[in-house]
Amino acid sequence: MTTDAIAKVLNGAVDLHCHSGPSPMPRRITHIEAAHQAQAAGFRAILVKCHYHSTVFDLLAMHDQLASLSTEVYGGVALNSQVGGLNPHAVDLNLKMGGKMIWFPTISSGAHLCNAERDPHIKEHFVPRGVRQSDEVDIFDETGDLRPEVDVILESAKEAGALVSAGHMAPDRTLAMLTAAKAKGLTRLLVSHPNYVMNAASGDVQKFVEQGAVVEHCLVMYDNEKLFPFTTLLDWINLIGPENTSLGSDLGQVGNPLPMEAFRRVTGQLLDSGISVKDIRTMVVDNPTRLLGLDT
């Protein structure tokens, strides 16, 4: 597919999963560099993520360098043990300071920690600089019910119109959170890389969609087929449809391609595979734009 065709498809796109820095984990690019590269690719916005701290304050400190860019840059907070786990105060502060995303536990989820014990690479990758291993943060209490903090966090997200992600939680936790969120009237819900760490089956993913979630597939896993065959991405899109799918880079790490490089390559592959321009733009423009509330 031609460079011009790819550029047209990506014009106005939004990356909800950019791992630029600063971060304890080695990063190829800063938030400022990521924003410049996104602007050059015609992106409307990016959302920057860190597993260890709120990225909102990073962006506030970089305000002057970001202010002149046409690409908007947003942040959020991941509810891992490094910020106190299911901490309503961390959520409230993040949202009051301009945060757009609340990630339920990622590296502190039981699913992530179980995978880390089985896979030395995952374990080493997520404890950079010798930082302490995450404690488990579970949304279930000892009786199997949702902890009361979950309700408070979801209510804060609803009031702020924020996007809520299931993080790296196992399918049962993810479904319970999504069900509670839907009951509250939340409509900006995201589930990322269902076949990585959380190990969700196709039936699980269909249940997530029934609760109103958009499923995000991460380009880092399909670009050059690093973790999964490209055909697996096509299978996921066919399973739930482009209208329920989003594509995020999940990139910025040292040793990986840059986010915009992966967007261009994978978009080209999608076009070459017969996915229509309209459907690709649904996944890279329309859905993430709605989830961030940029058109309200």
Q: What is the pTM of this model?
A: 0.96
Task: Give me the pLDDT at residue 115, please.
Answer: 87
The rounded distance, in Å, linking the Cα atoms of 250 and 15 is: 9
- Do β-strands 163-165 and 189-192 pair in parallel, antiparallel, or remain unpaired? parallel
Which residues in the chain come in under a pLDDT of 50?
none
For the beta carbon of residue 251, count every other beta carbon within 10 angstroms. 26
Residue 160: predicted pLDDT: 98
pLDDT of residue 1: 64
Output the pLDDT for position 120. 80
**Pairwise CA distance, residues 99 & 156, whole Å:** 12
Provide the pLDDT for residue 296: 56
CB 76 within 8 A of CB 100: yes
Instruction: Please calculate the CA angle 18-260-157 and round it to the nearest 5 degrees.
Output: 30
Q: What does each C-alpha distance from 37 to 30, 69, 260, 276 come to in angstroms?
A: 11, 11, 7, 25
* Lateral strand order in the sheet of 45-48: 14-18, 45-48, 72-74
- For 3-292, CATH gives 3.20.20.140
User: Would you state the structure tokens that stand for residue 284, as one six-digit string?
Assistant: 């890279």
* Alpha carbons 155 and 149: distance in angstroms, whole number: 10
